[in-house]
Amino acid sequence: MKKSKKLLATMCMLLISFVMNGQQTTDNRQQTSDDVQESKTKKEKIYNEKGELIKQGWNFGPLPVVGFNSDLGFQYGACVDIFNYGDGSRYPKFDYKMNLEVSAYTKGSLNLRFYGDYYNLLPNSRLFVDAGYFTDKRFEFYGFNGYASPLYNDIYVLGQLSTVNSQRSTGDGQQSLTEMFDPEFKSVFYRMKRNQFRFNSCLRRQFGFGDNIYYGIGLSYFNYDMGRIEIQNEEFAYDQQMTLYELYRESGLIRDNEAEGGNITQLKLSFIYDTKNHDSDPTKGTYFEATLTGAPDLIDGKGHSHITFNAVWQHYFPIVKENLTFAYRIVTQNVIAGEIPYYAMFNSNMLFYKKMSTDAMGGANSVRGINRNRVVGEGYAWLNAEVRWKIAGFQFINQNWHIALNPFFDAGMVTQTFRLAEQELAWEKIQKKYQIAPKDAMNLIYSGVAEGLHTSAGCGLKIIMNKNFIISAEAAKALDARDGDNMKVYIGFNYLF
């Protein structure tokens, strides 16, 4: 009940912030000095054939950032959204959009991000620039290859004399590992640390033929700082708990030269076909993107050069004009050459990053309802399918509003495994190291089960302003307990795709 009240309060604060922003953007255009108001005629409002107010010029609005994510906790912070609609002839499409956000989550994540989305800054082009620094003190790590990695709910593991964390030493040279289960005990077995700096720039331009066919080029840079979870908690003995990340290091599944992260430089080349009628709230059209990403190991020199191929297919099919739409998305990515470090597999190498997080797969930005980062491999594919139903539309404070529901079904799986043969033998190395008899402990690294389809289902509520500002609340649950046994709730902004 307390959690429900907090979620309701979060939604109310988001709605209030949007109303304040809508009023402010109107006031910003109308407020002038008394002398100017007396000498100028009030600007006439212009409506389109649907009765919607056409937005023109600059819309500027500082907003509080309030959200919730079951994987990350409650979100709080501030952001600034800046839109330019030009003369309004493209409305609801914009000419320029910029956003600056500083926010944090109660479970230990921090987001510092700027992005700019510029149409026709260059003729027939779209320029996208994204830069951010993200810290995550409780980054989820469930192992490699999906269901090949077992998931034990409520497990915590006490270990001593780890080669990764020398503080856990008995002093007598003995090594131990003890598995225990307690739903009241705060476990960090599936947690680690990740800090990430990201810069991404890409340019999309029309080919000489066709209005909806484009090519894209991009340059990206990532710096990853990975390691054992650093949060201290004496009551639950975090410093004495063993983590899956450490077991992967000690068994060699995570190599020493990649264990603490590194630098990734990416060069991207894309082919794009785009007939969507709107970017943020599409109701018809198709979007296809095929991106080849080369990542030469220019900085670290550890032999981690690799090439990935990513493809995205999105289709929006109108059932009842713009009020009822069936939408689906298919995403696939594979490593086609070279050796990718484990920390780079979490990233989805699309040309444009619509969402702040680029992680795949599992969680709010991919397969909703399953544990974040539950599905990790060299290659993967996932499906999002949903019905978008606008149940109400109205005007308020000179803004155009809609209320919508979106029931959905998601699914995904690993299609290209990563070090699976080593994973099958890794537990034997741990048993020898800790002198564990086979009957004394469960295999924490390999389940013996082949990968399969990870599925989830749920429903969302959307509050849409001017087809560009969208408050989103979604709830989803995994259909297999191996992907998590709790209902997941996500409150934030925008449709998933």
State the chain's mean pLDDT as an integer. Answer: 86
Query: pLDDT tens digits, residue range 300-318?
Result: 999 999 999 999 999 999 9
Phi-psi region of 37 (alpha: psi -120 to 50; beta: other; left: phi over 0): alpha
Q: 34 falls in which pLDDT band (50, 70, 90)?
A: very low
Q: What is the mean pLDDT of residues 462-469?
A: 90
pTM across the whole model: 0.84
Instruction: Give pairs for 480-483: CB < 8 Å, separation 24+.
Output: 480/454, 480/455, 481/153, 482/147, 482/150, 482/151, 483/151, 483/362, 483/369, 483/370, 483/371, 483/374, 483/454, 483/456
More confident residue, 130 or 120: 130
Q: What percent of the chain has pLDDT over 70?
A: 87
Q: What is the rounded distance in angstroms from the CA atom of residue 493 to the CA atom of residue 401?
A: 15
Instruction: Give pairs for 176-181: CB < 8 Å, separation 24+.
Output: 176/434, 177/242, 177/430, 177/434, 177/436, 177/441, 179/155, 179/441, 179/442, 179/444, 180/155, 180/156, 181/152, 181/154, 181/155, 181/156
Length of the chain: 497
Predicted local distance difference test score (pLDDT) of residue 31: 39
Phi, psi of 237 (to 5 degrees): 50, 55
Angle at CA of residue 260, ends 433 and 115, nearest 5°: 150
Query: pLDDT tens digits, residue range 41-80?
Result: 445 678 777 767 777 788 777 889 999 999 999 999 999 9
Residue in 102, 112, 57 with CA at minimum distance from that of residue 83: 57
Q: 10 falls in which pLDDT band (50, 70, 90)?
A: low
More confident residue, 27 or 270: 270
Buried b (16+ CB within 10 A) or exposed e, 300-318: eeeebbbbbbbbbbbbbeb
List residues bridging with 326 in a β-sheet. 317, 387
Q: 24 falls in which pLDDT band (50, 70, 90)?
A: very low
Predicted local distance difference test score (pLDDT) of residue 161: 42
Q: What is the mean pLDDT of residues 89-99?
A: 82
Q: What is the rounded distance in angstroms from the CA atom of residue 355 to the CA atom of residue 368?
A: 14
Contact present, 380 and 348 (Cβ < 8 Å): no
Half-sphere exposure of 6 (CA within 13 A, CB side): 13
Query: pLDDT tens digits, residue range 211-256?
Result: 899 999 999 999 999 999 998 887 888 888 999 999 999 999 999 9
Predicted local distance difference test score (pLDDT) of residue 14: 53
**Which residues have CB under 8 Å from 370's CB, separation 6+?**
362, 363, 410, 454, 456, 478, 483, 484, 488
Predicted local distance difference test score (pLDDT) of residue 3: 52
Least confident residue range of 275-279, 401-405, 450-454: 275-279
Predicted local distance difference test score (pLDDT) of residue 285: 97
